[in-house]
Structure 1
Amino acid sequence: MKILIAGDGKVGASLTRELTAAGYDITLIDSKQNVLDSSIERFDVMAIRGNCASMEILEEAGVKDADLLIAVTSADEVNLLCCLTAHGMNPDIHTIARIRNPEYSKQIYRMRGIFALSLSVNPEKQAAIEIEHLLKYPGFLKRDSFAKGRLEIVELRIGSDSKLKDLALNDLDSVAKCKVLVCVVLRKGKVIAPDGNFVLQEGDRIFVTAPTDNLTILLKNLGIITHKVRRVMICGGGKVSYYLAERLKKSGMIVQIIEQDYEKCLDLAKRLPGASIIHGDASNQALLESEGIQDCDALITMTGMDEQNIIISLYGNNCGVPQVITKVGHLDHTKIIENLPIGSIVSPKELCTNAIVRYVRAMHNQEGAAITVYGIADGQAEALEFLVEKDTRYCGVPLKNMETKKNILIAGISHKARTEVPDGESSFEVGDTVVVVSGRDEVLYQLDDIFE
């Protein structure tokens, strides 16, 4: 499959890494030669310098033979024009545009056909939804949902006082007192697929699969006290903050936004009646204290600088804020910050990349493509959900009798309304959905790809 990526910024680079690793033929288009040179050095790609909305540049990039165009430049209008032009030159091409401006949300949805868009993505809106989910269900660093919300993979960190510290996974049931499965462990930046004899250590980040009801039981038995979030302090007044505040206000939460740019404050005050908009520097300790950081239920740091977000989150943790969420734009920082007490980490870039990769896989494999795809363990593993179809292998066969490839784990099976963490006697039937956790050494396009 030939794919054109217009815009070689953060999301463009992330997509290039993911899609070249999967073996796709990638051509990059960007106006900056130094950015393209960097990508050429790192990846096996073609690169064209120029305006991606220009017919001449698109023709040079091979748009007439391309299967997909992904427009992720910094300008929404350029992305739309790029997709529209590409479709005019090649009516069979699929097009994906990143559209971030809240003012365009409704018309993009209503006029998708006119704009010739196969898919539009909004990383900031996706991040807001992710953060809202974390606020409504506190206690975990991250939550990814499957089987229409009935099954989840959650991330926990093993602290010095955790009941899971120094516990062998064979003994997990005695502490959890419900059925859960530790599918991946991240220890010192390295992914481990644990067996029953694996012993958890302080500092481990573990990824646990369980039906949603069991997660509540798990938190209770681990002594992790969850709290109802009523008052939220948001540092930074960008697009994510706007989308999030809009959603939180509908849930009845009290929202404070601290923003340094006065014009942005005026705009937010106009768009978000009822929210408290504070003009000031969110990294100013005196300001945070005067606005009551010690009394808020959640602190969300979403300034435009990762370093500033991290520092404010560290201070919030030190002040005893029950829940801290940190937005990170550069995932390259993950290994540096993974052991810092900055709560949950949310990356709009990662969420956007996941959505586009899921679409690409569905294009590659029209039947049997993954319903859901999440990157977990800092992108070193994947969790995918597949529908069991009539020609899927091993239907009705116990898991213990299946021959699966190395580094593949069947982590959950949903039989209509019933969802289970499987054991060796479990099986799946046509119409069920199956959640699979896999290493990144092989791309899974359909469920049969997990079998030898």
Structure 2
Amino acid sequence: MKIIILGAGQVGTTLAENLVSEDNDITLVDNNPQRLSTLQDKHDLRAVHGIASSPRTLREAGATDADLLVAVTSSDETNMIACQMAYTLFNTPTKIARIRNADYLREKEKLFHNDVVPIDHIISPEKLVIDDIVRLIDYPGALQVAHFANERISLVVVKAYYGGPLVGYAISALKDHMPHIDSRIVSILRNDKTIRPQGSTIIEAGDEITFICATEHIKAVMSELQRLEKPYKKIMIAGGGNIGSGVAKYLEENCTVKMIERNPERAALLAEKLSKTLVFCGDPSDQSLLFEEHIESIDVFIALTSDDEANIMSALLAKRLGAKKVMVLIQRMAYINLVQGGSIDIAVSPQQATISALLGHVRKGDIVNVASLRHGIAEAIEAIAHGDEKTSSVIGKTISEIKLPSSAIIGAILRNNTVIMARKNVVIEQGDHVIVYLGDKKHVPEIEKLFQPSVFFI
């Protein structure tokens, strides 16, 4: 696939790194020549220096025969104009744009179609991060929750702790513990090493477990791996930007929410906008302010400012002063592995959320949803089986007959709105939504090929 990526910031760079290893023809456009030079030295891609929305730059980047244009510059307006140029001048088939401004998003139904601003798919990082954080609040104790198949199937990452009934037992005991609930453990991370789970594998305390199940059974399966935490009721948010205010707005209906915002004008605005959230103007790393607001009684402290270091420091302080859990927003991917799992319970990455959403539109075959896992090392994919036994390499075959890459596991299937856990004798049918876990994303092209029907299939 010939793909043009506009913007070599963190998202554009990470997307290019994800796609360049998958036999794609990638061209990266940016107005920073030094950044482009560095990336060209590291990766097999083409770099074009210029203004992303310029017809000349787009022509030089190969827009005349590109299959896909992804506009992820730091400017919403540049992204929109670039999509307009690609549509009007080059008839680019698929155009994706990152749009951050809430004013544009509120009017997206009127704005973003071929007669006005021709964008096929909109990616809004703030909305994606808000959704991720809300899911983590909804499922206390989870490290990551990803929904598939119209939210009927979920993939969940949790840590196993002493007190979980399955800890110290083989995976095969899960069915004995929960005879009426079907689920599947697809990965175990133990001491930074990935273990492919077998029925005889013993779950140990400290294991990072990835499991898949029908969404309504998430808490039941989690309760086998750790003592279920009580629902979070008292939340403190540091930072009243778009993400902070969005999370507060969602949570204030069912939780007691306090927010700390440095900017006095922004704090006053939020106090009016958020009817049930208590907004304070101050520094979230001010120890006396945290004491005054009873940090020791807070269930979750969520640091959501635009400064990674400030988020990390305020969260560490909040944890030391008694907050039960702390969650931080981290922009730099390199920081995530450094901070998560110690004093900081969960690190949330806008880049990872954005990449997951983008990959769902970029993958070949009928791949409709992608979740980036373990900070980009692993992936979960929702693919739809199309064709028949002659044109498809999966339809009509049992799961045990499908030749999967070594790191791949078919976890679950949605068929006619019914969730089916993937067992060896289950036969794939036309129209099935198949959820595949990939421990190593280098095998993505093989999965794409599996789910691409061909009239020439032999």
SS class of match (1:383): strand
Whether the 8 Å CA contact 1:138–1:323 is kept in 2: the answer is: no
Equivalent residue in structure 1 for 2:334, among 332, 335, 354: 332
Unaligned runs of 5+ in 1: none
Pair 1:62-2:62 in alignment:
yes
Q: Deviations over 1:331-361 (max 9, x none)?
A: 2223323431422332111111111111112
Per-residue deviation, 1:103: 2.0
| 1:153, distance to aligned residue in structure 2 (A) | 1.1
Residues 212 and 273 of structure 1: CA distance in aligned 2, closer, same or farther (over 3 Å)? closer
2:199 paired residue among 170, 193, 196:
196
Residue matched to 1:120? 122
- Residue 183 (structure 1) aligned with residue 180 (structure 2): no
The residue that corresponds to 1:98 in the other structure is: 98
CA contact (8 A) 1:191 1:377 kept: no
Q: How do residues 50-449 of structure 1 correspond to structure 2 at under 5 angstroms? A: 50-113=50-113, 114-159=116-161, 162-174=164-176, 178-222=181-225, 224-249=227-252, 251-361=253-363, 364-365=364-365, 369-391=366-388, 392-438=392-438, 439-443=440-444, 444-445=447-448, 447-448=450-451
% identical aligned pairs: 29
Structure 2, unmatched stretches of 5+, are: none
Structure 1 range deviating more: 425-434 or 6-15: 425-434
Deviation at 1:20, TM superposition (A): 0.6
> C-alpha distance in 1, partners of 2:145/2:205?
21
Conserved 8 A contact 2:4-2:28: yes
2:69/2:92 contact within 8 Å kept: no
Please tell me whether the aligned partners of residues 386 and 446 of structure 1 are also in contact (alpha carbons under 8 angstroms): no
- How many positions carry a matched residue from both structures? 446
> Would the aligned equivalents of 1:71 and 1:83 in 2 still touch at CA under 8 Å?
yes
Preserved contact between residue 240 and residue 302 of structure 1 (Cα < 8 Å): yes
Partner of 1:37: 37
Give TM-score scaled by structure 1 length: 0.90
Summarize the Cα distance change of 1:185–1:219 in structure 2 as closer, same or farther, 3 Å threshold. Answer: closer
Q: Tell me if 1:3 matches 2:6.
A: no
1:176 offset after TM fit, Å?
5.7
SS of the residue aligned with 1:141?
A: strand
Query: Matched residues in 1 for 2:398 and 2:75: separation?
Result: 52
Deviation at 1:66, TM superposition (A): 2.0
CA distance in 2, matches of 1:118, 1:272: 33
> 1:442 deviation in Å?
1.7
TM-superposed CA distance for 1:165, in Å, is 4.2
Code of the residue aligned with 2:139 in structure 1: it is Y
Matched with 2:46 is 46
| Cα distance in 2 for residues equivalent to 1:327 and 1:431 | 38
Q: Which moved more, 1:419-428 or 1:396-405?
A: 396-405
State which drifts further: 344-353 or 334-343: 334-343
Following superposition, the deviation at residue 445 of structure 1 comes to 1.9
TM-score, normalised with respect to structure 2: 0.89
Task: Indicate if the aligned counterparts of 2:162 and 2:226 stay in contact, CA closer than 8 A.
Answer: no
Q: Distance in 2 between matches of 1:325 and 1:203?
A: 19
Quote how far apart the aligned CAs of 1:220 are. Answer: 3.6
